[in-house]
Structure formats: structure tokens, C-alpha cells
Amino acid sequence: MISKIARLCAVVAVALCGATLLTPAGVARQPQPPVADAPPAAVDAIPDGARSPRNANYSIDVRLDPDDRTLTGRAVLTWRNITTVAAPDLRFHLYYNAWRNSRSTWMRERELGRGPGLASRPEADWGWIDVTAVRLLGDTGPQDLTDRLRFISPDDNNPDDRTVLSVAMPTAVAPGETVNIELEWSSRVPRTFARTGTIGDFFFIAQWFPKIGVLEDTGWNCHQFHASTEFFSDYGVYDVRITVPTGWVVGATGLGQEPRDNPDGTTTHRYVQEDVHDFAWTTSPDFLDLQERFEVAGLPPVQMRLLLQPEHAGQAARHFEATRATLQHYGQWFGSYPYEQITIVDPAWQSGAGGMEYPTLFTAGARWLAPSDVAQPESVTMHEAGHQFWYGVVGNNEFEHAWLDEGLNTFSTARALAASFTPHHISRRYFGGFVPFVFRDISWSRATDGNRLAGYRTAARMDAQQTPTYEYWPGTASAITYNKTALWLHTLERYLGWEQVREILSVFYQRWQFRHPRPEDFFAVANEVSGRDLSWYFDQVHGGTQIFDYAVQQVTSRPLRDRGFVDGDREPTFRDPIDEGGLTRTTVTVRRRGDGIFPVDVRVVFDDGETVREQWDGRALWRVFTYERAAGAVRVEVDPDRVLLLDVDYGNNSWTATPRAGTAATKWTLRWMVWLQDLMLTYAFLV
């Protein structure tokens, strides 16, 4: 046992120093990308030859028993304290315990936001993880720490929550000190919760091992598992050996080594990856294992691997094309993908594992019927591939600032999708999601995505975005994290221009890769690159719950009476109206109905075809514009170019003069009457 532990420690220790032991044979180490103005402390913490601090390194052996749905694992964690404070204990995430029973914090919050549906699952569907041994490894042999384990609930003091484990150390781990911890555990893989679990012979295994939290200068950042958040980890080297039944296909984070067949009818698959902050894997006997290569001038090549369900074989090219488009657009816009491989997983039907990201591996989401003019599976594939940049490389804290990942990526995905896949028609699925109906008269637009605006509108007042994400109201967290961020970034693009927003994202990506940025770091980059103080904007969209709503309140156009003067007074009075050829006074009143402030234009169109455009700083509650012209106004628009995509009611932004005849209204009324008649006749036939 001790010799095996020593070998494992040696592997991880060499990896920590940046040696080539964990680099697969024949694969050259990638050159280091330049880092602009990185924080000095972070630079000092990076070992020679590494991209990241590599302060949380794992060497893991795990065995899956698919019949019992159990995992048995052993790991050696090599952890280095890169902060300025000592650590009297080590804290680990045990995510599977969120689904141990209905009393966990995750389950309570899920029920609060979406109702008690999951709590009624059969007992066989639940999962758990039990740490059976913890040892501190040292020169004098292992020291058993198992009796020092205790569950803690740092966020809500829930005594029934077991998702954070504290291990008291014999002596505090000093700044700069490295410790080796051996852990043994067993767990039951659940019927999928939160996109990790199993159905039939399909297993998607994520958040499956005791994972150390992030120690900061202020102490441990190791939150309980919450229903509205995802994850946060330090970077390191992962060397993982996965044992499954022989003949089962395995995909995982990192580069695969030559598998080894065992005498007991199992096969051990080894995957290694440097400079990642998590590790996930999948296995099934049914996968089609396909590969293509991404090669675009100016970007490093990437081996793309697709693990596809057999019934989706006809969609293989679409998965590869979407992944290729993401690597190209994100790479050219923001910075290149730094790893040598990427794995796309097509999850089994009803597995609940679709649309999730992990370093160098993600799940997409294909359907049996996939019309070619609807970008599905392209949209979900591109979004999850995009997370390799905004999550994988830029390692933000998803517990506290999930918008830095999900929001930036939602915006980036929409732009890449618009640049790559047109037409992209709107569709709806019926009969349990099997049959799509395509609305070919309606094309998706990233500027007028109704689902995104509707989602934001319903949740705009629920939480300020600066609230730690795990404290969001569970039912509306995604609207604030995804939709609101995408809308305010798109608004910023229309305000500053795409090239400037692209540069903001590029500098942020280059400067903060393999580190843990905070919101103020993004805002600082935005101010620096744009050359403007944008605090007035970020204070509203991130710091508050302001509602943006500008409207046309009133428009009047009346013939102007001839001006005269009475008793020498210089104030004007009015006599009889002049003839029809005279001037018309047009008065336009626009109003700010919300508490959000944003500069907007006002466009007035006159019936002689002339147009006047005004600029309004949007601060006052209302503003009046007056014109004396030969023609009257026929149309008024506030924000005519739709710069402010956060406006919650764009229907009140315009006014149009009443037409002389009701031809348009009559036309549409007749159409709706015919449609209603057809509907009623169809209903009568069916019943």
C-alpha cells in the first residue's frame, strides 16, 4: 500500500513542477500564451512551464459497477497553499450528497423555486457519496485523519446538508506549503440530477469525487451546493484511471492513453490533462466514436471527438460543424482554445444530461428529428463549446458571479450563431418533444430574441445581479444570469460598437485566463479598453434592479395661428388661423417610465418625407420637442435603432398617425376572421 501511495505522490509531485511525466508520449507541450498585466501574485504562483498555478492536482483511480450504479474511488490530492493565510483545515465539496435525501440545501431550494416534483422520486433514483478514509501522506508514512472529518454548512447552517466536508489538519498548512492527501470514497450514481447521473447504460459522471474548495486570502471559498449555481475550483493536473466493463466507450476530460484490459472483464482507461479546474467523464456501450480535426490558419489545431447516440448518426456533421465554428469565431475574436482536444457528448434520450460543460468535454443535445433550417443541435453545441472559453479558461466563481461565465457566453454564442448558421427559423416541439413544427416565416435574431427578453422581463426586479448567485431566488436565477447579461452586453455593443466590445472581451480573456476574475476585473477592462467611465451603466445593470422603459407619451400636430402683438407687449398672441399653406406646430412628448437611465435618440418623421433626429440623455422623467414646419408628424420613435435592448416594453416606443382609411386594419381583421373560422370548423370535426 505504502509503495503504491509513494508512486502516486511522485506522479503528482512531478506534474506540479511542470515536468513531462504527465505529458502523453509523442504530444508536444503547447507554448505559453502571453499574459497582459496579470496580477503579480498570480504570476508568482505559476510554476515554470505551466499555464496555471497548478495548486490542486489529482491522481485518481475509480471503478464503475454499472449494475449497482456505484463508484469506488481512491485519490491523492497534492494541494499547495497559494494564499497569504494559513489553512487550519481543508474543505471539500461532496456534490452527490445534494441528492442523498430531500433535506439537503439543494433540494430545499429546488422545491422553493420549482415545486416538490423531485422529492417524490423513488429511492433507487437518489445518489450519495461517502468518504471512507482520509490520510495525510508524509516522509514518516501516512497519518490517518478520518476521525477529524465533519460536515459543515457555511451558507445556511442546515444540519442536514452534507455537501461540504471539513478535515482538520494536525498543523495548519502555511502559505506556500504543499500537502499530499489520500482520500477513499464510494458513491451511488443517481438517476440524473443537475445533468449528472445515469439512465440505462448511459452514464455521465460529473462532480463525482471529493473536490477541494478554493482558499482565498479571506478564508475558504467552499459553498454548499445550491440549486441556482454551479461550481468553482482551482487549476491543476489531473491523472485519472477509469475502470469500466470491457467494450464500453469512455470519454473524459483530457487526452486518452492506451487502455488496459484486465482479467476480470474490465478495461482501465487513463486520461491526463494539465491546467484544468475539473474533470468529468462518460461511458456507454452504445456510443458511436467519431473524430475530426479542427484546422484554421492562425489558430492551433484541435482534435475533435464526438461520442454520438446511434439514432443520431445522421447529425454527426452538424455537431462537428458547430464545434468548428465556435473554435474559429471565439478563437479569432477573443483568443485561441489552449488545449489539444475537445470531446462532444451526445447524451442518451431522457438522460437529463444535455447542455453541460466541463474542461475539454461537454454535452450537447440532439433530437431524432432535426430540421436543417433550425439551428438545433447547433445552438446548444456552440453554447457548450463556448464554455471552454468562458468557464474553462477564464475560471470565474460560478457560485457567486455566474454571469461572468453564463452571461458572457450567451452573448458570444448568439453572435457566433448569427455569423455561422442562417437561416435559423423558430420551431416548437410537440408530442413529448418528438415532432418539431417550424415557423418558416419567423427567423431567430439575436437582437429580437423574444425568449431572452421575456425571461429577463419577468425577473428584472427579483434580484440585483451583484447579489451572490447562490442567494438568487431559485426560480429566476437563470434570467438574471443568462438573459440580462446577454441583453446588457448586446446593448453595450450597440452603444460602443462591436469592435470595441470584442476588444473588451479579448483583453479580459487574455488577461484572466487560468485565474479567478471578479466582476470588478471585467468592469476595469471595459473602462480601460473603451477609454470611458462606464460605471453609470454597470451600476445599473449589475449593481441594481433598474427597469428601462422609454415611451412616446403624446404627439400633436396643429396648424399654427398667425402671430400678433397686443398693447406693445412682446408676448405672442394668436389671431385667426392662416390658410392651409401655412405652418404646423408639432409637439412631441417622450417619457422615461422606468428608473433606469440610458441615452436614447428620438426620431420624428414628417408627412413630407423629412426626418429629424434628436439626442436625449434620458435622465429627466419627460422631454418635449417642438417643431414649426410646413408638414406635420406622421411617426415618432424613441430609440429608433433599438440600441437599448433592455427596454422592457418596446411596444410603447413609437407612435404613428392614424391612417386616412382603415384599409390595413380591415385587411388584418378579415384574415383573423378566416383563421378563426377554420379553427372552429377543425375543432368541430375533431370533437
Taking only the tens place, the pLDDT of each residue in 445-496 is 665 554 666 778 888 899 999 999 999 987 788 899 999 999 999 999 999 9
620: region left, alpha or beta (phi > 0 left; psi from -120 to 50 alpha): beta
Would you say residue 326 lies in a domain?
A: no
- Does position 328 have pLDDT exceeding 70, yes or no? yes
pLDDT exceeds 70 at position 38: no
- Asked whether residue 290 is assigned to any structural domain, the reply reads no
Instruction: Tell whether 483 and 609 lie within a shared domain.
Output: no
pLDDT (average), residues 138-142? 92
* pTM for this model (two decimals): 0.85
Residue range 324-346: average pLDDT? 98
Give burial (CB, 10 Å; 0-12/13-18/19+) of 423: exposed
pLDDT number for residue 46:
87
Q: Could you read off the pLDDT of 172-203 as tens digits, one per residue?
A: 999 999 999 999 999 999 998 888 999 999 99
Cα 685-686-687 angle, rounded to 5 deg: 95
Cell of 647: 427596454
Mean pLDDT of the chain: 86
CA–CA gap between residue 35 and residue 335 (Å, rounded): 11
Of 235, 261, 285, which one is at a domain's C-terminal end? 285
Lowest-pLDDT choice from 213-217, 218-222, 432-436, 501-505: 432-436
**CATH, residue 69:** 2.60.40.1730
- Provide, rounded to the nearest whole percent, the portion of the chain with pLDDT above 70: 80
What secondary structure does DSSP assign to 449-472, as a single string?
Answer: -HHHHHHHHHHTTT--TTS-GGGS
Which of residues 674 and 56 earns the better pLDDT score?
Answer: 56
CATH number of the domain to which 608 belongs:
2.60.40
Contacts of 83 (CB under 8 A, 6+ apart): 175, 215, 216, 217
- Work out the pLDDT band at 370, boundaries 50, 70, 90: low
Same domain, 439 and 573: no
Domain match, 87 and 203 both = yes
DSSP summary character for residue 659? P
What is the rounded distance in angstroms from the CA atom of residue 522 to the CA atom of residue 519? 5
Asked whether residue 364 is domain-assigned, the answer is no
pLDDT at 34 over 50: no
- Are 601 and 473 found together in one domain? no
* CB distance 193 to 85 below 8 Å: no
CA distance 241 to 272: 9
Predicted confidence (pLDDT) at residue 122 exceeds the cutoff of 70: yes
Lowest mean pLDDT among 65-74, 110-119, 256-265: 110-119
Residue 83's closest CA among 262, 254, 234?
Answer: 234
Mean pLDDT to the nearest integer, 673-686? 45
Residue 302 within a domain: no
Comparing 163 with 661, which gets the higher pLDDT?
A: 163
**Least reliable range by pLDDT among 43-57, 238-252, 427-441, 560-574:** 560-574
Lowest mean pLDDT among 7-21, 140-154, 494-508: 7-21
Angle 450-459/485-496 helices, nearest 10 degrees?
120
Residue 616 lies in a domain: yes
CA 65 and chain centroid, separation: 33
Reply yes or no on whether the pLDDT at 219 is more than 70: yes
**What pLDDT is stored for residue 350 in this prediction?**
87
pLDDT number for residue 609: 93
From CA 493, how far away is CA 442, in angstroms rounded? 24
Counted domains in the chain: 3
Residue at grid coordinates 415618432? 636
pLDDT reported for residue 564:
42
Reference 408, options 388, 438, 428; nearest CA is 388
pLDDT at position 428, please? 67
Which domain does 124 fall in, by range?
1-285
Give dist(CA 155, CA 145) in Å, integer: 25
Q: Do 537 and 561 belong to one domain?
A: no
Q: Which of 264, 285, 306 is the last residue of a domain?
A: 285
Do 23 and 93 lie in a common domain? Answer: yes
Whether the pLDDT of residue 264 is over 70: the answer is yes
What pairs with residue 123 in β-bridges?
none
- Tell me: do 439 and 580 sit in the same domain: no
Asked if residue 82 and residue 111 are part of one domain, the reply reads: yes
- pLDDT at site 103: 94
Where b means 16+ CB within 10 Å and e means fewer, 426-443 reads: bbeeeeeeeebeeeeeee
Q: How confident is the model at residue 366 (pLDDT cuts 50, 70, 90)?
A: confident
Residue 513 located in a structural domain: yes
Q: Which three cell numbers stand for residue 468?
A: 451572490
Query: What does the pLDDT read at residue 597?
Result: 98
Instruction: Give domain status of residue 299, yes or no.
Output: no
Using pLDDT thresholds of 50, 70 and 90, give the confidence band for residue 39.
very low
Same domain, 173 and 60: yes
In 479-542, which residue ranges form alpha helices assigned H by DSSP? 485-496, 498-512, 519-530, 535-541
Q: Is the pLDDT of residue 44 over 60?
A: no
524, 541, 558: which is the final residue of a domain?
541
Task: Dump pLDDT digits (tens) for 494-505.
Answer: 999 999 999 999
Beta bridge partners of 241: 61, 270
Residues 533 and 585 in one domain: no
With respect to residue 314, please indicate whether it lies within any of the assigned structural domains.
no
Do 125 and 262 have their domain in common?
yes
Residues 510 and 652 in one domain: no
